[in-house]
Amino acid sequence: MSPPVLQAKGLSKQYGRRQVLSDCTLSIPPGRVVGLVGPNGAGKTTLLHIAVGLLRPTGGSIEVLGGHPASGAAQLAKVGFVAQDAPTYAGLSIADHLRFGAHTNPGWDQQLADDRITSLGLDRSQKAGKLSGGQRAQLALTLAIAKRPELLILDEPVASLDPLARREFLQGLMVFIAEHDAGVILSSHLVSDLERVCDYLIVLVASRVRVAGEVEDLLASHHRLTGARHELADLPTGVEVIEDSHTDRQATLVVRSTTPIDNPSFSVEQLSLEDLVLAYMSQTATDPRPALETTP
Amino acid sequence: MIWFTWRQFRTQTWITIGALAALGAILVITGRSIADAYATANVAACPGDCATAIDTFLNQVTTSTSGTVYDLANAITYAVPALLGIFWGAPLFARELETGTYRLAWNQSVTHTRWLAAKLAVVGGAAAATAGLLSWAVTSWAHQIDQATGDRITPGLFAARGIVPIGYAVFAFVLGVTAGMLIRRTVPAMAATLAMYSAAVISMQEWIRAHLVAVSHAINPLDTSSLDTLNIGAGNQLTVVASAHLRGAWVLSNQTITTTGQLFTGPANPQYCGPDAAPQACTDWVGSLGLRQDLTYHPANHFWPLQWTEAGIFIAIAVLLAGFCFWWTRRRLT
């Protein structure tokens, strides 16, 4: 079995006294489309920038495709990156950007780049500064794809796009995933962007990884329990409460449990991926596992 | 990477080439009238009355367009290294960091070190070439004027001749790159570059340059036939300065000393230097005192040693700054 696409151990990043990434430990298996989700400012960009070598961690270690990020030309060639807001050179044309890619990447696939630009209906002589947000994102994606990376990393690729451009971008991405055997990591603050394309999910909240795993496993192991409050106060061991909302008598819990919960005194419901992520996001940073209050 | 550096830098290159060509045209046109004036005044063939020939020549030059071009060319040669630092050096990194395009550039299959090396070599080389070409053009254009005035070494001219402008340009460029890297914003980096560059160049001119090569000393009998200054101040204090008579030299100090080696300050003898005395009497009296002229100076032949040393110092600082940039790119920026 090939090594993990990304392996982080106790990874952290600090700016002065501000901790933007704390003790992040991850091991992402190969061949996955990974969604990195979390609220704005959670540390998603920091994590991705560390993975591509734009930032150095202040603690811990990280390996991407078995190498240190940006440690050499070969490592850089293996990882494609589309940064947030898809930066491009405003004064340079699309053709210039493609020549830039061709000159700086030994594995450059000119055919792929040409085909994409043609199918997008873009004018090669157009300056990147004159493109719409969606077109610019597509250009940046083209550059990242045409270098034929083993791992493609995208930081909030669709955050600033309108719904149509968003769909087109994600479609382009899915075509790439289907045609090439590359891993993908993409971040978003919206689960809805990710759930159609991702089969692996990482939830990052307030600089910490809350949960990471295959989407299928996550859905199977998380449940919403509704019932009388005193019934829910006493849960079997191995059941971890993620979120707790209650009135005086009634309580609704989101729990994680590896074993099936079988108790007729409350109802057990499946969670959608969005609800699952929201449950993790609503946890406070200081208190990751809120204890249940005992009923008076 | 070299192609891309050139592509990003293309507009500036054409602007620079255009500006140099325009200046070149002006120099070629006015250069002819200087050569004509030089020939007409017969400066080249003068062992006879050189002073008159030179005066005629310089008079004709300074009253024509060439005089204006001379001042302009000197000013441009002083300004260009600073402009290169501000407009080529400072934005090189700062603009990439400011607009976020470094996130695109640094994820192609080119290491950050190679990226920096290509930028520094291509744009820095262009900066050196620009300053070199400019200095060569101005130095050779002004050659006859410089010979006639006997001056290319004094502050105000020295750094607009020879190889010093190249040293300045390389230094200003790398200084700009460093400032851009540390400040990460284009306009503040430009301002910082201008401030630091000016400080360095002014310090060099005012306090450092004179000591780069060992100065020459001379003590001569005071020649009262060519006094520059004869000034009687309060309390009969007398200031006497004779002309240095050092063609092509940069005179650092010119003092009149007594037979015992003290600075001569008078007092003036009222019999010869009083209000009723004849004008020549005071001068004659000063001549009878056995005073000497004490000179500290760089003679004309110190020009090239000073040029090499000063250019070398600025290039060495530029190399150190470039080394810092590499270290910073590897350690801190990433």
Q: What pLDDT is recorded for position A294? A: 39
Side-chain-side CA neighbours of A142 within 13 Å: the count stands at 28
Dihedral sign for Cα B223, B225, B231, B232, please: positive
Residue B87, pLDDT score: 96
CA R_g for chain B: 26
A105 with A38, same domain? yes
Tokens of A220: 């199977």
Distance of CA A129 to the CA centre of its chain: 28
Name the residue among B184, B183, B170 with its Cα closest to residue B85.
B170
Position A149 in a domain = yes
Q: DSSP letters along B163-229, please?
A: THHHHHHHHHHHHHHHHHHHH--HHHHHHHHHHHHHHHHHHIIIIIGGGSSPPEEEEEE--GGGEEE
Cα A59 to Cα A150, A153, A280, B158, B328, distances in angstroms: 26, 22, 25, 53, 19
**Largest distance between two CA atoms of chain B:** 90
Comparing alpha-carbon positions, the chain B residue that sits nearest to A145 is B108
- Average pLDDT of chain B to the nearest whole number: 92
DSSP-assigned beta bridge partners for residue A16: none
Q: Which residues contact A165 (CB under 8 A, 6 or more apart)?
A: A132, A133, A134, A137, A158
The domain tally of chain A equals 2
On whether residue A212 sits in a domain, the answer given is no
> What residues in B contact A70, CB-CB < 8 Å?
106, 111-112, 334
Which residues span the domain enclosing A119?
6-205
3-state DSSP call for residue A67? strand
| Interchain contact A52–B (C-beta under 8 A) | yes
More confident of the two residues B258 and A265: B258
Is the model's pLDDT at A50 over the cut of 80? yes
Give the torsion through C-alpha atoms of A125, A127, A133, A138, to 10 deg.
40
Rounded Cα distance between B270 and B268, Å, is 6
Contact B103 A103 (CB under 8 A): no
d(CA B119, CA A8): 33
- Cβ <8 Å between B108 and A83: no
What count of CB pairs under 8 Å joins A to B?
Answer: 75
Which residue in B has a C-alpha nearest to residue A72's C-alpha?
B111
Are A157 and A169 a contacting pair, CB within 8 Å? yes
- Residue A16 CA to residue A116 CA, distance in Å, equals 43
Q: What is the CATH number of the domain that holds A91?
A: 3.40.50.300
Instruction: Please state the ipTM of this predicted complex.
Output: 0.88
Same domain, A150 and A275: no
Report the gap between the CA of A77 and the closest CA in chain B (Å): 5
**Range with lowest mean pLDDT among A40-49, A275-284, B100-109, B286-295:** A275-284
Indicate yes or no: pTM above 0.80. yes
DSSP letters, B47-85, are: SSSHHHHHHHHHHHHHHSHHHHHHHHHHHHHHHHHHHHI
Better pLDDT: A158 or B77: B77
Are residues A136 and A226 both part of a single domain? no
Q: Which two tokens stand for residue A277?
A: 């992520």
Q: Which of B3, B104, B108 is nearest residue A105 as measured by Cβ atoms?
A: B108
Task: Report pLDDT digits (tens) over A109-166.
Answer: 999 999 999 999 999 999 999 999 999 999 999 999 999 999 999 999 988 888 898 9
Q: Any idea which residue has 């807001």 for tokens?
A: A85
A74 shares its domain with A154: yes
Query: Would A289 be classed as within a structural domain?
Result: no
Interface test with chain A among B14, B93, B103, by most A beta carbons within 10 Å: B103
For residue A30, is the peptide bond before it cis, meaning its omega torsion is within 30 degrees of 0?
Answer: no
A92 lies within 8 A of chain B by CB: yes
Percent share of chain B, pLDDT over 90: 72
Predicted pLDDT of residue B94 = 96
Shared domain check, A221 and A201 = no
In the listed set A158, A180, A205, which residue is the last one of a domain according to the structure?
Answer: A205
Per-residue model confidence as pLDDT tens digits over A255-280 = 898 777 777 778 888 899 999 999 99
The string of DSSP letters for A202-267 reads EEEETTEEEEEEEHHHHHHHEEEEEEEHHHHTSPPTTEEEEEEEE-SSEEEEEEEESSPP--TTEE
Residue A168 located in a structural domain: yes
Output A234 or A16, whichever has higher pLDDT. A16
Q: Looking at the structure, do residues A92 and A145 belong to the same domain, yes or no?
A: yes
Task: Verify that A120 and A146 share a domain, yes or no.
Answer: yes
The answer on pLDDT for B13 being more than 90 is yes
Pairwise pLDDT comparison (B107 vs A260), residue with the higher score = B107
- In the predicted structure, residue A194 carries a pLDDT above the cut 90: no
Q: What is the mean predicted confidence (pLDDT) over B195-205?
A: 97
User: How far is the C-alpha of B90 from the C-alpha of B182, rounded, in Å?
Assistant: 10
- Give the least confident one: B135-139, B162-166, B214-218, B221-225: B221-225
Residue A155 covered by a domain: yes
Considering the domain architecture, whether residues A196 and A267 belong to the same structural domain is answered as: no
Asked, for residue A294, whether it belongs to a domain, the answer is no
Across B252-276, b (16+ Cβ under 10 Å) vs e yields eebebeeeeeeebebebbeebbeee
Is pLDDT above 70 for B162? yes
Query: CB of A70 within 8 Å of any CB in chain B?
Result: yes
For residue B331, give the DSSP letter: I
For residue A140, the chain B residues in CB contact (below 8 A) are: 104
pLDDT at A293 over 70: no
Say what the pLDDT of residue A261 is: 77
| CB B241, CB B295: distance < 8 Å | no
| CB-nearest partner of A104 from B100, B109, B331 | B109
Do residues A162 and A247 share a domain? no
Q: Touching check for A99 and chain B: CB below 8 Å?
A: yes
- Maximum pairwise Cα distance, chain A: 72
Nearest Cα neighbor of A113 from A136, A146, A80 is A146
Same domain, A99 and A170: yes
Q: CA-CA distance, B283 to B333, in Å (whole number)?
A: 70
Mean per-residue pLDDT, A166-182: 88
pLDDT of the residue at B227: 87
| pLDDT for A262 | 75
**Does the CB of A149 have a partner CB in chain B at under 8 Å?**
no
pLDDT the model gives residue A1:
58
**Chain B neighbors of A52, CB-CB under 8 A:** 107
Q: For B151-176, what is the mean pLDDT?
A: 96
Angle, CA A128 vertex, CA B126 and CA B174 arms, to 5°: 25
Of A70, A87, A99, the CB nearest to B100: A87
Q: Is A11 inside any structural domain?
A: yes
- What is the C-alpha separation between A36 and A44, in angstroms, rounded? 7
Looking at the structure, tell me whether residues A230 and A168 fall in a common domain. no
Q: Which of B5, B101, B108 to mutate to test the interface with A (most CBs of A within 10 A)?
A: B108
Within-domain flag for A94: yes
Averaged pLDDT for residues B103-117: 94
Tokens representing B30 are: 């006015």
Distance between CA atoms of residues A211 and A279, nearest Å: 11
What is the 3 state secondary structure string of A157-209? Answer: CCCCCCHHHHHHHHHHHHHHHHHCCCEEEEEECCHHHHHCCCCEEEEEECCEE
Q: Beta-carbon neighbour count of residue A18 at 10 Å?
A: 8
A38 with A129, same domain?
yes
What is the Cα–Cα distance from B282 to B286, expressed in whole angstroms?
6
Residue B48's pLDDT band, with cuts at 50, 70 and 90, is: low
Q: Which residue in the block uniquely carries the two structure tokens 């809805």?
A: A192
Final residue of a structural domain among A205, A235, A259: A205
How close B87 comes to chain A (CA, Å)?
17
d(CA B250, CA B301): 10
Task: Among A167, A185, A205, identify where a domain stops.
Answer: A205
If you ran DSSP here, which 8-state letter would residue B237 be given? -
B329: DSSP letter: I
- Cα(B291)–Cα(B287) distance, integer angstroms: 7
Q: Which neighbouring-strand residues pair with A59? A: A12
Q: What average pLDDT does the segment A95-100 reach?
A: 96
